Chain A
Amino acid sequence: MADRLSQLQDAIDQMATQFFSALRYIAVIDDKTTFDGTSPPPAAKVELARDLIFKSKQIEFLITSLPGIGVSEDEQQERLKSLETELKEAEEERCRAVQEREAAAEKLDAVIRRLRRF
């Protein structure tokens, strides 16, 4: 799945395409009856209008769910820096743990070898 920003841009492009398709439908395919406001509009037109509104709502939803909205660049930089130091510490800790594990494995190995000789 594309990231949010690309999704949003795709939605906007789709909306523009819908604009065109709707106008073209009315110009080429529609029966050109005038809509006087008393009789209900044709179903196809209602559908076109509804699709446009749907797309618009979708765009709005995507806008509100943009990642990290309301976080300033400075805050991000700070978070990145603290994450970096944390990562370094965690990595050192991990290396120590791996060494400990290897030492333990060696000890176990030695014991097993001694048992075999017995």
Chain B
Amino acid sequence: MPQEPPPGALSSAFPPPPTYYTHFTEENLTALKSHRLEDGTLPPDDTLPDPLCYLVPPPPPAGSYRAFGEEWMVPERYPSLEEAGIRQLYPPTSMAAVAAANGGGGGGGADKGKELTVDRTVELRRLSKSLLLNYLELVGVMGMAPEQFHEKTADLETILFNMHHLINEYRPHQARETLCLRMEEQLERTRRETEENRKAVAKVEDILAGLELVAKRADAICGGDGLGAGREKKVDDGVAKARVRDVEAWKALVGMGG
């Protein structure tokens, strides 16, 4: 089994690389390949010889893990106030919280983590009102018996924690809302681009059709290709026709607004 990391290696904000990274050498990796089972999976790490067992990735953590000096939950969720040892002043906001409050813990399945429709606005307003009220009481206490401030500051603290917690719980909701907005913006952009492309196509088609018309008209003006005329005449005809065609084409282009 991999040796224990030195203390502080996992809890510091920028931990050093794991101690076993030096074992990932070319030889060790080739040696590990020969240990692979028939189905291509790796055998459990305790059956491998000493340096090779460090190369097998450990099973994914269950419960919680530490990264960048913080504790993370698996599956990821926001720890409830109760878990942090603070009294929750508002009704539970998610099924998971309800389950935890009922002492059930397990069960719930798909519903777990789903938000209940607790009116956060109302709760937040209530909390902000009692914040002000508690402060008023604190000021009163300070006037009468300044040494008894602990109780009131503790209340204020609880209320502040509750407000912050309620807001933080709301963050996934806001994230989804923001995602919706961004997607709507992108949809709008894509549609606009499509439309502009179509417009450009229509314009090109217009111009081409116009030019075709011009060519026909130039042909009509010059009258055929100078059949039966002499060589000299034919060249003159060609030049004249080109000139007429140019003039008509420019007229057509200008008429279309470039």
Contacts and interface: CB of A to CB of B under 8 A. Distances in A.
Interface of A: 3-5, 8-9, 12, 15-16, 19, 23, 26-27, 52, 56, 59-60, 63-64, 66-69, 71-73, 76-77, 79-80, 83-84, 86-87, 90-91, 93-94, 96-98, 100-101, 104-105, 107-108, 111, 115, 118
A111 B208 contact: yes
B90 interface: no
A98 B176 CA distance: 31
B138 to A, nearest CB: 8
B207 A108 contact: yes
A79 B182 CA distance: 12
Chain A contact residues: helix, strand, loop or mixed: helix
Given A59-B128, A68-B174, A104-B204, A94 B193 contact: yes
A104 B201 contact: yes
A118 B238 CA distance: 9
Interface stretch (B32-40, B59-67, B68-76, B115-123): B115-123
Contacts of B138: 19, 23
B52 interface: no
A15 B174 CA distance: 23
B139 A83 contact: no
Contacts of A66: 120-121, 170, 174
Contacts of B121: 63-64, 66, 69
A9 B176 CA distance: 19
Given A19-B156, A118-B242, A97 B208 contact: no
Contact of A63 (B124, B142, B183, B242): B124
A15 B163 CA distance: 12
A3 B177 CA distance: 12
Chain B contact residues: helix, strand, loop or mixed: helix
B1 to A, nearest CB: 42
Given A52-B135, A60-B125, A108-B204, A5 B171 contact: yes
A72 B132 contact: no
B201 A52 contact: no
Interface string B150-182: 000000100010011001101101101111100
Nearest to A4: B174
B11 interface: no
Contacts, number: 125
Interface of B: 114-115, 117, 120-121, 124-125, 128, 131-132, 135, 138-139, 142, 156, 160, 163-164, 167-168, 170-171, 173-174, 176-180, 183-184, 186-187, 190-191, 193-195, 197-198, 200-201, 204-205, 207-208, 211, 242, 249
Nearest to A6: B167
A56 B190 CA distance: 43
What are the 3 A-B residue pairs with the smallest beta carbon separation, nearest first?
A68-B177, A97-B197, A104-B204
B174 A94 contact: no
Contacts of B117: 72
A90 B164 contact: no
B190 A72 contact: no
B201 A100 contact: yes
B160 A16 contact: yes
